[in-house]
Structure 1
Amino acid sequence: MGEFWPVADLLTYLAGSWRVERAVRDLANGAEGRFTGTTVFGPLEGAGLLHQESGTFVWQGVARPAERTLRFLPGPNPGSVLVRFSDGRPFHDLDLTTGRHVADHPCSADLYRGEFTVYGEDRWRTVWRVGGPTKDLTLTTDYTRVAPGQPPISRLSPKS
Structure 2
Amino acid sequence: MGEFWPVPDTLGYLAGTWRVERAVRDLASGDEGRFTGTTAFDALDGGGLLHLESGTFVWQGVARPAERTLRFLPGAAPGTADVRFADGCPFHDLDLGTGRHVADHPCAADLYRGEFTVRDAQHWRTVWRVRGPAKDLLLTTDYTRTDGT
The answer, yes or no, to whether TM exceeds 0.5 is: yes
Distance in structure 2 (CA, Å) of the matches to 1:10 and 1:52: 17
Where does residue 116 of structure 1 map in the other structure?
116
C-alpha separation in 1, matches of 2:59 and 2:22: 12
Aligned to 1:29, the other structure's residue is in SS state coil
Question: RMSD over aligned Cα, in angstroms?
Answer: 0.9
Q: Does 1:99 align with 2:99?
A: yes
Deviation at 1:18, TM superposition (A): 0.1
Distance 2:13 2:22 in 1: 20
Aligned 1:19-30 pairs, distance under 5 A = 19-30=19-30
Give the Cα separation in 1 of the matches to 2:78 and 2:10. 6
CA contact (8 A) 2:16 2:147 kept: no
| Counterpart Cα distance in 1 of 2:5 and 2:76 | 20
* C-alpha displacement of 1:78: 3.3
Aligned-partner SS, 1:11 = helix
> What residue identity is the alignment partner of 2:91?
F
Post-superposition CA distance 1:20-46 (Å, at most 9, x none):
000000000000000000000001121
The structural deviation recorded for 1:58 is 0.2
Unaligned runs of 5+ in 1: 149-160
Residue 34 of structure 2 corresponds to which residue in structure 1?
A: 34
Q: Which residue of 2 aligns with 1:76?
A: 76
Aligned residues: 147
For normalisation by structure 2, the TM-score amounts to 0.96
Report runs of 4+ in structure 1 exceeding 6 Å deviation. none
